[in-house]
Amino acid sequence: MTTPARSLPTPSGRRHVTLGDAAREFGRYPTPWMIGATLVIAAGMRITLGDWTWADAAVPVVMLAAFPFVEWVVHVCILHWRPRQIGAVRVDPLLARKHREHHGNPRDIALIFIPWQALLWVLPVAVAVALLAFPRAPLGVTFLTVLAVLGLGYEWCHYLVHSDYKPKSAVYRAIWRNHRQHHFKNEHYWFTVTSAGTADRVLGTYPDPGTVATSPTAKNLHGQPS
pLDDT tens by residue, 122-164: 999 999 999 999 999 999 999 999 999 999 999 999 999 999 9
**Contact of 192 with 52, CB cutoff 8 Å:** no
Question: Does the structure show a pLDDT above 50 at 12?
Answer: no
Name the DSSP letter for residue 222.
G
Tell me whether strands 84-86 and 89-91 are parallel, antiparallel or unpaired.
antiparallel
Strand residues in the chain grouped as ranges (E): 84-86, 89-91
What is the per-residue pLDDT across 72-125, written as a single tens digit (0 to 9) for each? 999 999 999 999 989 889 999 999 999 999 999 999 999 999 999 999 999 999
Does the pLDDT at position 7 exceed 50? no
Can you give the pLDDT at residue 17?
81
Residue 4's pLDDT is: 43
What confidence tens digit (pLDDT) does each residue in 163-203 have?
999 888 999 999 999 999 999 999 999 999 999 989 999 99
pLDDT digits (tens, 9 = 90+) for 216-226: 999 999 776 55
Q: Are 72 and 200 in contact (CB under 8 A)?
A: yes
pLDDT score of 6 more than 80: no
CB 133 within 8 A of CB 154: no
**Beta bridge partners of residue 89, listed in sequence order:** 86
